[in-house]
Amino acid sequence: MPATPPEHSRAAARPVAPAPLWQAGWYAPARRCPSPNVGERPAGVAVDLLVIHSISLPPGEYGGDAVPRLFTNTLDWDAHPYFQQIRGLQVSAHFFIRRDGALWQFASTQARAWHAGASSHRGRANCNDFSVGIELEGLEGHMFEAVQYAALAALCRAIGTQHPIRAVAGHEHIAPGRKQDPGPGFDWPRLRRLTGRPGWQFP
């Protein structure tokens, strides 16, 4: 009769539980890069809106580190002439999706990021209080990459497991006349189809 394996051998054979996808509003698949430009959400407010933005720094230039540096207050304002127009700006978003689909996170979804500014959605002002802001690397009016749509849809679904999301809107929809992103180059029907959430409201 074979000898009984020692206890440590039996323990080593037990399956290891996978790490949770979410911890305190931080999404494990995203590259974590905390921003200081965050605050607390008002007590008792449900996070039920996703706001889609587009950003590139300088405008139309992709792949650099200017956007993460902007969101972390480390941007060299003298590195490019355009940066003088936004010198001293303190903003953030919860997520940033690069042209290649890479995902960054700058704020817990439980926190209030500074992405919407003066805004209103369906009669409710101050969208930062009840929304998650997602930035796509791109230029308003231009097209976005297939991998960005795939990453965005997966992220939207994942956020929907943590918060009672009811609607998705563009920055242009919650701040009309002041903002134009993500613009006419963004394919809203495509996002709706990929997200697969028929109960959510889309533009």
CB 133 within 8 A of CB 115: yes
145 catalytic residue (yes or no): no
Q: What is the model's pTM?
A: 0.91
Angle formed at CA 189 by CA 131 and CA 101, multiple of 5 degrees: 65
SS3 54: strand
Q: Domain locations in the chain?
A: 28-195
pLDDT tens readout for residues 2-15: 455 455 544 455 66
Q: Catalytic pick from 7, 40, 135, 145?
A: 135
Q: Tens of pLDDT along 136-175?
A: 999 998 999 999 999 999 999 999 999 999 999 999 999 9
Superfamily of domain 28-195: Peptidoglycan recognition protein-like (3.40.80.10)
